Structure 1
């Protein structure tokens, strides 16, 4: 099977990109500041993935991998100390019944050689993966994000309110009237957004989590996902009877037994049918299969204390805390670089927290 070479991909360059990115960063910083009062907990809260469910100690093991999958971090066998952070995708601190089921799995590995792509921490030695329990994303350009970020802040309320639902989807589809014809409307993005409403509520350890955006993968281009390989006893999450059902089922499952995920990559085989710059389109598996490149082991552990939530909330995870061989690509990935960094800086400033990468899981979890 022939895979696309990274050096044949040409990033899209739009003349208004930097101005749009500056506006997105300004908006996210403002919403972060406003969250201190809006969320009512006396501290700044993330504008996305605001509610934390727990932080778990983990080990990431890379085995013998055949070419062309033996690239970058996965070029040779190694074992890395790590932590995994679980969170809700929305930027609210509410009962789970008032949030959606879109949830994130953030992975932070320690002791990874090489220079980080984050300019303000080149020697930190950490390597992050940001994943979510859906296959597609709903914004592809800085301009999309600039408009959609405000609409995103209304979720899930806008979609469950009959008086607002139709107008909200109309504003989303037309970028609040800036797209004149149906040919320009954000159909892929709207369908991607609505697909999040179809995610079932299940134990956080039972989901498959996806990068949605693409990355350089050494000589090639890839997406990344994690697939659970261990069963869970507490599968159902009943948010009607328990406002903290995601957290409580995660705590119970973590304390009961070991768990594991396979870390898999899908190499790009066709830029037209597997687009890099449209994260709202799923890459077909018949063009390129998912291949396991590492295993993530989560040993049985107690994460039930408030100190665990504090550690999890203070853990910053960004797709740009990576290495050159795994550079995020596509416009929305470039947007994430500065948005995530500035959001983290502002949140830590407002909360009086020191912004410095930990050196290992014991520093966070003891």
Structure 2
């Protein structure tokens, strides 16, 4: 293989128009979170994305003993402690039996002293449908305004949705959407999970994939997702392979085009995520609801790479600051 491409901060830089749109978007995120308890009809402020928590669990990241020499400095222990949050991508929490199959598998990795090493919010779809930063910001702003103002913001939102259609039509996007439709009723733990965007691994740039080991896709077909997931984790151990791809060439492994898959970069197994049965935490506990899986809180050499990822940094900060402020006030009232 050629030498890995080195990380460059230019991969993350926004232009002036994008910066202005980001400021507008941040205001709508704060507005959404402030009103989120009434939007979702719950007694706390929710996240601005992946609002619905299915479960929170403790896990362990076991490192492969024979990983490549260049990766060993980053994984210098036999195992690391994990906190894992399972979620749905919708902005609004709905008490429905069937949610759209847009699932989150957010992983928080800590060292032996409890210090945070990295956050990785993984999702069950390998691509992100928009690669234009301006288009994404305008759409995200329109969606937030729709949830806050409802019908008066419907047409601006539909207009922005129409603008992303061309980026949904890459062969990779179409193939993965068809595959997702075919798996829409499958058990949440039977899906593969992906970083979608890129991350640093020291000076290298990588993508991450998590592949569950032998989980029956037909589990819990007649149950609510939350119930089937909790029942499974109470009764069964769970294990998944952790694989990475390394960026060697921007043509074959583009960092800022998230609607195409990386090619000519083989997957390397670096370890396994394991959740022992009965390792669930109380997801309704205020401490667990306040958990942040912001990947930009990770150590600098594990942080996200790319323009869309940079937007997530600002969005996470606004969302979590607003959410924590409101929830502490609410918790104080109820305590």
TM-score, L = length of structure 1: 0.76
**Structure 1 segment 20-99 matched on structure 2, within 5 A:** 20-67=21-68, 70=71, 73-74=74-75, 76-97=76-97, 99=99
Q: Secondary structure at the match of 2:116?
A: coil
The residue aligned with 2:333 is none
**Structure 1 segment 232-247 matched on structure 2, within 5 A:** 232=216, 235-238=218-221, 242=223, 245-247=224-226
5+ residue gaps, structure 1 = 114-122, 156-163, 175-184, 355-366
The residue aligned with 1:333 is 309
Question: How far off its partner does 1:139 sit?
Answer: 3.2
Of stretches 333-342 and 2-11 in structure 1, the one that deviates more from structure 2 is: 2-11
The residue aligned with 1:172 is 161
Root mean square deviation of aligned Cα: 3.1
Answer yes or no: is 1:351 the counterpart of 2:327. Answer: yes
**Equivalent of residue 132 in structure 1, options 110, 115, 123:** 123
Question: How far off its partner does 1:190 sit?
Answer: 6.4
Distance in 1 (alpha carbons) for counterparts of 2:327 and 2:268: 41
Closer, same or farther: CA 342–64 of 1 in aligned 2, 3 Å: same
The residue aligned with 1:178 is none
Answer yes or no: is 1:309 the counterpart of 2:272. Answer: no
The residue aligned with 1:361 is none
Distance in 2 (alpha carbons) for counterparts of 1:226 and 1:262: 6
Question: How far off its partner does 1:208 sit?
Answer: 0.8
Distance in 1 (alpha carbons) for counterparts of 2:78 and 2:43: 42
The residue aligned with 1:269 is 248
The residue aligned with 2:151 is none
CA contact (8 A) 2:67 2:269 kept: no
Deviations 1:79-122 (A, max 9, x none): 11111110001111113456311000011122278xxxxxxxxx
TM-score, L = length of structure 2: 0.83
Aligned length: 317
CA contact (8 A) 1:52 1:87 kept: yes
Deviations 1:130-162 (A, max 9, x none): 10000101233542232221455679xxxxxxx
Distance in 1 (alpha carbons) for counterparts of 2:70 and 2:96: 39
Higher fraction of helix: 2
**Structure 1 segment 255-294 matched on structure 2, within 5 A:** 255-284=234-263, 287-294=264-271
Closer, same or farther: CA 218–346 of 1 in aligned 2, 3 Å: same
Answer yes or no: is 1:252 the counterpart of 2:231. Answer: yes
Answer yes or no: is 1:106 the counterpart of 2:111. Answer: no
Q: Secondary structure at the match of 1:172?
A: helix
CA contact (8 A) 1:173 1:190 kept: no
Q: Secondary structure at the match of 2:283?
A: helix
The residue aligned with 1:195 is 177
The residue aligned with 1:182 is none
